[in-house]
A and B are shown apart, each in its own frame.
Chain A
Amino acid sequence: MATRQALQAINTQDITDKSRRDLLLLLEAVRGKKNLVIERPLASIIGLFVKFSTLQEYGVDKLFFLENHNVDSSQRNIVFLVRGENVKIVRTVAEQIRLVRSESKIDHDFTVIWVPRRTLVSNLILKEHGVLGEANITDLALQFVPLEPDVLSLELEDCFSDLILRRDPTPIFAAARALMLLQKQYGLFPRILGKGDNAKKLADLLQRMRSEEDVNASSDPNNTYLTSFALTPSATIENLIIIDREVDFPTALATQLTYEGLLDEVFGVSHNQTEVDSSILGGAPAPQPQSHTGGSTAPAAAATKRKVQLDSSDKLYPEIRDANFATIGPLLNRTAKRLQTDQQNIHKADQSISDLKSFVSKLPSYQAESASLKTHTSLAEEITKLTQSGPFRRTLEIEQNLLIGSEGSTTHEQLEELLARATPLPTVLRLLCLESTLSNGLRPRDFEHFKRLLLQAYGYQHLGTLARLERMGLFVAREANRGYLNPISGSAGQTATDWNFVRSRLQLWVDEVEEAEPRDIAFVFSGYAPLSVRLVQAVLQKGYLLNLVNPPRAGAAGAAVGTGANGSGWKGFEDVLARIKGATVDVVQKGSDADASQARKTLRGNKEGPKTSLVFFLGGVTFAEVAALRLVGRQLEAAGRGRKLIIGTTGVISGGRAVDVAIEKGVFGA
């Protein structure tokens, strides 16, 4: 049963394999040794599915970063692997080709591999620079990158600023293309649900692409007839739920309290890797010399950063990544104890040879695990230092008060204090934005007051920062006639969210959180249940959510709702959705060819098979949300019928990264 489930759900390994195959094919097509010029962010994405040694096997001699402008002419073949959607990068490529051509004595062969596709604009720019005819141009359709078997990411690092700040819909298009590819492979999403204006745009785009696909498929000369056949409703995917980040800023702004979330908050995690000062990890290897040399310990060692891989290839990490940080100590402790008993077993004298053999065979994994335990213990220790500090506690207190919905002057006083005490700007901005988004803007008087304080505390260059935050809708003044204040107006909820109503109706605050054995998603923020995930639950766990809000008086009533609720879209929660800003999406996709759909159904067997729900975050997902959704996924799986949850996203976001987009980096007289 388990294997069958794995076969039928979206197989993320396939995506990895295909990306690797495609890339290597393209490299193989360039004959002989070659120098590879790669964009730095792309390099770590590529690193997720192919090793450098493999690239070398395919003739890559040297690797250059595009940003370094240091391509040399040591090889005749120069291959650029870059993203073609970014004009600046295209221009850099063109300039470098020109440079190498003019400086080098050999006649070079240039190949440009655009990721994820060749664009018209890139052609235009290469033409303007007079290099279009010089280079062999191909593209690598790298779209979804599986970060984990259940997390697909487009890894668009600029998507938050593109979508929210610049209102540039490029990420929506990229998302639509990637989702389209999934549909081609697994069949149409039978139902598309979503919340938010961008979610609506995405859903519309998917619809449009579907009708265009008919024509595309037929005008592609080397297509096979089967591609159009695939566009019948999928038998494995039940629905697509699109969550627009704009609908739920507070969740992105709040401090994540899961282990992985805190790792991201403290050290920053990108492409499953984090960079940590080696002094934090280096406890074990070099304690002796440090104690001798005293205060002036090797500055070189302190400056070096070490990369830590954070993914499910590690045995320990998957167990602890999603846990609330409060429970990390006991979890690590348990592992440590287990490893200790293992070790004792090994050291036991009275063993038969066969016992010994089995222990020896376990030894490598044992060593890997204890190394990983050491790493994570050091990391957790470092995080603990922070979480127990005064500023962190104060921030958290304000944050939780805001999330509970208690309005009041104390919060403002605390905020003023933070400002006066020169707390790091991102922290303050996160809190201010959190308040603003939770109350649809500050009162104009407060708004101007805080703006003034902020400029005085951090410098007038942040006029730019504030303007950007306002534009993003993160930090604004409340308008007198916001929709929800006037419930009679028909457009209620289209421009603003009625947080008080939503909070009570979806139980966004849970008082009793069992952090060790979480039963509700609120554990990821120690009390606050992220709206985004609640929305997903409104589709997938209607019964659970209704019970949570109105504890069942007679057990029968709740159960009835719970069973009949599947596959009915937003049903039962329309009133809440109407009070949340942004458009609501609910589209049922039917196959264009009824016979084909029928045939497909028959082929798959018309029993209710395992179903997968795809939750797509447009504008980025936080690790806390991933952890919460994994809990939902586990609960769904436990509820039976092999239901699965897969998370898709444009990238990983955190509150820090969200406000950093707006922060002015320039300083007067710098």
Chain B
Amino acid sequence: MSKPTADWERVGDRFYRKTQLYTSVFDPDLELENYVVTGAPYSGAVALYRDEGKIYAYRGTQAAKFTIDIHSCAGKLIRQISWDKGRIKALGWSDDERLLVVTDDGTVRSYADLQGDFTPFSLGHGAEQHGVQGCKFWSTGFVALLGDNSIVAVTRYDEPRPQLLASAPAGEVMSWTVIPPEHTSSRSVEVLLAIGKTVYVIDAAECEDRGLEAGPFRHISVSPNGKFIALYTEDSKVWVISSDFQDRLSEYESKVKTPPKDLQWCGNNAVVLAWEDELHLIGPNGAASKFYYDSFMHLLPDIDGIRVLTGDTCDFLQKVPDPTEEVFRLGSTSPASVLLDALQQLEKKSPKADDDIQLIKANLDEAIDVCVSAAGQEYSIHWQKQLLKAASFGKSVLDLYNSDDFVHMTEALRVLNAVRFYEVGLPLSHDQYIRLTPERLMQRLVNRKEYLLALKVSEYLHLPVDRIYVHWARQKVRSSSTDEDGICREIIRKLDGKRGISFEEIARAAFDEGRGKLATELLEHEPRAGKQVPLLLSVGEESIALDKAIESGDTDLVFYVLLNLKKKIPLSSFFRTINTRPVATAIVESSAIDQDRELLKDLYYQDDRRIDGSNLLLSEALAAPDMTAATDKLKMAAKLLRDSKEFAPQVAALEDAQKLLRFQEVFEKDLTERFVGLSVNETMSKLIKMGNMKRAQKVQTEFKVPDKTYWWVRLRALVSRRDWRELEELSKGRKSPIGWEPFYNEILGAGNTKIASLYIPKCTTLTVGERIEMWVKCGMVTKAGEEALKAKDRGALEELRKQASGNAQLDIDRMIAQLQKGR
């Protein structure tokens, strides 16, 4: 077994290691120098396309077909996309392994999950005229540089919205890069453009000159954590500065005449310069180390290191992780290193093992922790095992140790080793695995159609498995050549009884393949009614879609289906569709009320809902500009109802309404006062107030206003007019349909006690006590006394006496005396 330090390289005071991940990666005939190569983050897939600017050997016509090839890091071909749509200007990946292809006219195609079809969108903002110069990608978006130095940013792919950033100065862009939004203080993307001797920083709002003078800069690159910037100057120097352009951190002179073809970061503390087959690794303080390759190579930077891809090998270059260095560095006396030695002694059955343990007894738990972490950083299974064994040995000595980390690490390593296997080709480091998360790793496995592995790993890690099944089924629907029934049966058989399967997604895949019938069949198994709707609409099953939407209870969906439906089918069948579905009708009605009255009228007509139709006309009558129009509308409203007996009262009311309007128009003409808009009662009241008794009475008889109502209206109108004479006249009447008490109350309320008192004797239905009260309220205590006397109520008299004063008191005394005498 080779020593773990064999591929270490010292750069300054740090160690870097180059781990060979895979060999014989590509076909030996492939001329990698003629290709543009980009790799997805977290050791994801690698996309290749032939650089059109380079000449290549002619290999017959069929080879000339242009393709984008997607390989795993181990070289396995995952997908080939044939390309015939213009010149590719940039190729990039997002965090979730979405491939983006940008052509020079600003068209972007986004290929999700390595398998499916693409969704296109266009950059706009003048990309067609000026052409795309290049693009820089980050985890969730990218920025495109156009020919006129304008910059377009796309920050999300689910709903791309290309946004023009602040305009940059003119001039040739020597090199450029982006700082992803998550690393900037403004939380929006910043673009660094090296123009002339300086660098400009551009964001959505402004463009700022950083005032450097050492340019022009051939290369510019931002570290993965966004804190540092590496620049390569014309005079072959590498500068590392902080990303706020405040501190200059280190400088290195390459002493090579030809400028390097690439400059990238290796983790956050080293910069890699690459020529065709030579590589300089520059650590802090300008220390450097050189690596030489036999063939042309490409750099694929990642968060914690850099992958170096040649036609033959795939290497991973990274700083030796601290725990690894602690354990393995030559001459290390760290507790972890001693613990590893103890294990080796133990395996040799040497008593020195115990000596070692005793030596580090005090720091044993720390030693175990370091061994566990170091195991995670190892690619060699042998050393993973050794380190875990050492940790395990150490654990056995300790009484108390929390083994959670140990267990997690063993689990993680099992998964990592499985996915690093060359046929899978995901050479994740432990750090990348943690950052990527197991869930997204499952997604990547599924994208590579490694369903069995994904299932096994998910079960091992207790992750949900339904996504895997769904993906499998979608793939099945897309690629299977068996008949539709067969596919459906097989999918149902496999997925039956599994929890949380989204059949809608599978059905959508079927629909996208043009298998409409299969899609409908699969949809039947979807438990979420709401999800079925959009697809059913696309398949043309509108009325089923409507039913499902109603079932889901989501009115938004119902409305959505209805809007689609209305556009698609004739109005009459639209009404037929909705009138058996009350919810749909309700939604059409409530939305049409403020948007489309005609639709509502048609609906009521079609459904024979006459009252509603008539009320609609009534509200139109209210909105009518003049009386003739209003009357016409009312006539139409009445006409709608006329031929049915059950609506007779309604018709009568509508006719009365017209009649009232006619009356009011006459009154307005004769009396030059406003009447229209008043009700029958209000009209009468107004007439009485104006002294037009006759007219008021005419209204009463015409509209058959009940006597009681009329009397009330008259009473109140007279009182408000303070027409005491008329009121006095009325008190001489013999009968009132509303009794006389209201007269007393209303007049008293208006403050005329004299007239009010006229009505007290007429209130014969009231008790004596009440009448006494009434007299008192009018201030007529004597009258009250007489009332009491008549009723021979001595108590009341006594009571009144207390309230009375002056003459009244005498009167009361007299009455009391009279009452006593009477007895």
Contacts and interface: CB of A to CB of B under 8 A. Distances in A.
User: Do chains A and B stick together as partners?
Assistant: yes
Interface of A: 28-29, 31-32, 85, 87-88, 107, 109, 119-121, 124, 133, 136-137, 162, 166-170, 172-173, 176, 201, 205, 208, 211-212, 214-219, 221, 225, 228, 416-417, 419-422, 448, 451-453, 455-461, 463-464, 467, 592, 664, 666-670
B703 A456 contact: yes
For the complex, would chain B's binding face be called helix, strand, loop or mixed by DSSP majority? helix
Interface stretch (B10-18, B68-76, B527-535): B527-535
A304 B671 CA distance: 38
Q: Which 9 A-B pairs have the closest CB atoms?
A: A666-B622, A460-B657, A420-B712, A218-B500, A669-B676, A459-B679, A456-B680, A120-B560, A119-B556
B interface residue count range (under 10 / 10 to 19 / 20 to 34 / 35 or more): 35 or more
Given A225-B463, A667-B677, A32 B590 contact: no
B716 A456 contact: no
Contacts of A420: 681, 708-709, 711-713, 738
Contacts of B590: 162, 166, 168
A214 B556 contact: no
Given A463-B653, A668-B677, A422 B591 contact: no
A464 B633 CA distance: 14
Nearest to B466: A218
B573 to A, nearest CB: 21
B679 A452 contact: no
Interface string B517-542: 00000000011111100100000000
A215 to B, nearest CB: 5
9 contacts: A31-B188, A172-B553, A219-B467, A419-B709, A455-B656, A457-B679, A463-B650, A667-B677, A668-B661
A467 B595 CA distance: 21
Given A212-B527, A664-B619, A664-B622, A107 B164 contact: yes
Interface stretch (B251-259, B378-386, B423-431, B580-588): B580-588
B649 interface: yes
A225 B464 contact: yes
B555 A668 contact: no
B821 interface: no
B649 A448 contact: yes
A176 B654 CA distance: 43
B527 A467 contact: no
Contacts, number: 186
Given A216-B528, A452-B653, A455-B656, A124 B560 contact: yes
Contacts of A173: 553-555
A124 B557 CA distance: 12
Interface string B164-207: 10000000000000000000001110000000000000001100
Interface of B: 159, 161, 163-164, 186-188, 204-205, 439, 443, 462-464, 466-467, 470, 499-502, 505, 526-531, 534, 551-557, 559-560, 563, 582-583, 586-587, 589-591, 594-595, 611-612, 615, 618-619, 621-623, 627, 630, 649-650, 653-654, 656-657, 660-661, 676-682, 685, 703, 705-706, 708-709, 711-713, 716, 738, 742
B36 to A, nearest CB: 30
B505 A219 contact: yes
A421 B749 CA distance: 14
A219 B504 CA distance: 10
Contact of A421 (B587, B627, B712): B712
A167 B582 contact: yes
A133 B161 contact: yes
Given A221-B443, A457-B679, A667-B677, A120 B164 contact: no
A667 B622 contact: yes
Given A31-B187, A448-B649, A463-B650, A205 B555 contact: no
B563 A463 contact: no
Contacts of A463: 615, 618, 650, 653-654, 657
A87 B654 contact: no
B648 to A, nearest CB: 10
A669 B627 contact: yes
B247 to A, nearest CB: 26
Name the residue in A212, A416, A456, A670 with the highest tally of chain B Cβ atoms < 10 Å from its Cβ: A456
Contacts of B676: 668-669
Contacts of B627: 669
Contacts of A136: 161
Contacts of A669: 627, 630, 676-677
A668 B654 CA distance: 13
B660 A460 contact: yes
Contacts of B563: 121, 124
Given A31-B187, A170-B555, A456-B703, A668 B653 contact: no
Contacts of B557: 120
B681 A457 contact: yes
For the complex, would chain A's binding face be called helix, strand, loop or mixed by DSSP majority? helix
A58 B496 CA distance: 50
Contacts of A31: 186-188, 204-205
Name the residue in A176, A221, A592 with the highest tally of chain B Cβ atoms < 10 Å from its Cβ: A221
A467 B615 contact: yes
A416 B555 CA distance: 42
Contacts of A459: 677-679, 682
B583 A169 contact: yes
B460 to A, nearest CB: 14
A177 to B, nearest CB: 9
Contact of A215 (B527, B582, B594, B595): B527
B501 A215 contact: yes
Contact of A168 (B586, B649, B716): B586
Contacts of A217: 500
A416 B619 contact: no
Contact of A455 (B595, B653, B706): B653
B560 A460 contact: no
Nearest to A448: B649
Contacts of B163: 109
B611 A467 contact: yes
A169 B502 contact: no
Given A219-B502, A420-B713, A460-B657, 20 more contacts: A28-B187, A31-B187, A85-B555, A87-B559, A120-B534, A168-B586, A169-B586, A173-B554, A218-B466, A218-B502, A219-B505, A451-B649, A455-B680, A457-B680, A459-B682, A461-B618, A463-B650, A463-B653, A592-B499, A668-B676
A168 B550 CA distance: 11
Nearest to A219: B502
Nearest to A158: B590
B679 A456 contact: yes
A431 to B, nearest CB: 17
A109 B583 CA distance: 38
A31 B155 CA distance: 14
A120 B556 contact: yes
Contacts of B622: 461, 664, 666-668, 670
A457 B583 contact: no
Nearest to A217: B500
A461 B637 CA distance: 12
Contacts of A218: 464, 466-467, 499-502
A116 to B, nearest CB: 11
B294 to A, nearest CB: 42
B470 A422 contact: no
Contact of A453 (B589, B682, B709): B709
B397 to A, nearest CB: 35
A408 to B, nearest CB: 17
Given A166-B586, A169-B555, A208 B161 contact: no
Contacts of B649: 448, 451-452
A604 to B, nearest CB: 23
A168 B555 contact: yes
Contacts of A120: 534, 556-557, 560
Contacts of B204: 31
A670 B676 CA distance: 9
Contact of B679 (A29, A225, A458): A458
Contacts of B678: 459
B206 to A, nearest CB: 10
